[in-house]
Structure 1
Amino acid sequence: MGYVIRPVTADEWKRLKELRLAALADPVARVAFNETLAAAAGQPDEFWQRRALSPDEGGAALTLVGEAEDGSWGGMVVVLVEEDQEVPQSHVVGVYVRPEHRGTGLARELFRAAIAWSWGLAEPAVEAVRLWVHEENARAEALYRSLGFVATGRIIADPKNAAAIEREMVLTRGRG
């Protein structure tokens, strides 16, 4: 199955909302999100409209989707720039692939596009791409390692379950 990886456009906010709610409802994927389905579903339209804006349009993050040949969205990845760090870096969040698109290479394609976008920024020049992976998400961690991400040793408690942890992983320029 082939995909076109592209940014979400502002007028696609309803499709973005539907995909995000599907991610939060997915029993396998929801461990990766800090937001609950109930909280997201209760957001007003203006919230989703802002979320669909790209950085070029004044948005805080870039959302990339994998669009299948039939026009459906198989998955997404969200990447934002963190300039307040020691070294400018991007932060990958909101990774989701619908169950029927898993195992097709879509997640890898989405990540490659997010990484390429990060490395292509002129200002700020991003030197690292980071993410957090839940300890129960071994499949995602294996993907990230295969893309060159390495564990930093930093951990945080899962905001939804203090007994669980998330591990930070990073990809530095030149490795991916």
Structure 2
Amino acid sequence: MSGDYVIRQVRVDDWLAVKELRLAALRDPMAPIAFLETYEQARAQPDEFWKDRTARGAEGGPNRQFVAEGPLGDRVGTVTVLVEEPGTEDFTGQRVEQRQAHIVGVFVREERRGGTVAPDLFRAAVGWALAEEGVSRVRLLVHEDNSRAEAFYRKAGFERTRVVGDEYEMEYRPAA
């Protein structure tokens, strides 16, 4: 962790900050290949949508969203972990064979990229999934044209496992 931010799980009352951070992510030039919604779609959502979304990622919800929070309460990055149960289908329509975690919604504000925010967010997310949720696998998808993100994911311990359309599935494989 850095002295100028902390990594923490979102709380239910963080919904306005979650909304603002998501809208910032959707304005990023890589957003069209990194996220499943557009800025316009997200901006049009009512407050109840954002409250529900935040509650699902807060403590007590089925998933977990982590934020990097600066000393003035400013959010500089986020990552969300979706827990996928065996026998269900993931959002691509694939059958889930084992209890696993899927990392989504990765975003760090441009001025904080290349530092410690993203690695710290990933340590928190992967650690929560493996230790707290006991999943057998942690994965993510990255678009084939998002080489910067893929390079970061490799440094964070993820390796390509298969191709899903125009994306690579990557699985966490801790260093031995």
Counterpart Cα distance in 2 of 1:34 and 1:15 = 20
Aligned pair 1:86/2:102, yes or no?
Answer: no
Contact 2:9 2:58 in 1 (8 A): no
Give the corresponding residue for 1:161: none
Query: 1:69 deviation in Å?
Result: 2.5
Matched letter for residue 26 of structure 1: D
Counterpart Cα distance in 2 of 1:135 and 1:35 = 18
The superposition leaves residues 43-90 of structure 1 with CA deviations (integer Å, 9 ceiling, x where unpaired) of 111110011113643x34211000122321101001010012222110
Give the corresponding residue for 2:136: 127
Give the corresponding residue for 1:5: 7
**SS state at 1:52 partner:** helix
Counterpart Cα distance in 1 of 2:148 and 2:119 = 12
Contact 2:9 2:65 in 1 (8 A): yes
Aligned pair 1:76/2:87, yes or no?
Answer: no
Counterpart Cα distance in 1 of 2:150 and 2:68 = 20
Counterpart Cα distance in 2 of 1:7 and 1:13 = 12
Counterpart Cα distance in 2 of 1:56 and 1:106 = 21
The superposition leaves residues 71-113 of structure 1 with CA deviations (integer Å, 9 ceiling, x where unpaired) of 2110100101001222211000000001111112211110110
**SS state at 2:157 partner:** coil
Q: TM-score, normalised by structure 1?
A: 0.86
Say which of 85, 97, 112 aligns to 2:108. Answer: 97
CA RMSD of aligned residues (A): 1.7
Contact 1:23 1:30 in 2 (8 A): no
Aligned pair 1:146/2:148, yes or no?
Answer: no
Counterpart Cα distance in 1 of 2:41 and 2:99 = 30
Give the corresponding residue for 1:24: 26
- 5+ residue gaps, structure 1: 157-164
Contact 1:81 1:90 in 2 (8 A): yes
**SS state at 2:67 partner:** strand
The structure-2 alpha-carbon separation of the partners of 1:113 and 1:167, relative to structure 1 and needing over 3 Å to count, comes to same
- 5+ residue gaps, structure 2: 87-95
Matched letter for residue 163 of structure 2: R
Aligned length: 164
Give the corresponding residue for 2:90: none
Counterpart Cα distance in 2 of 1:60 and 1:21 = 23
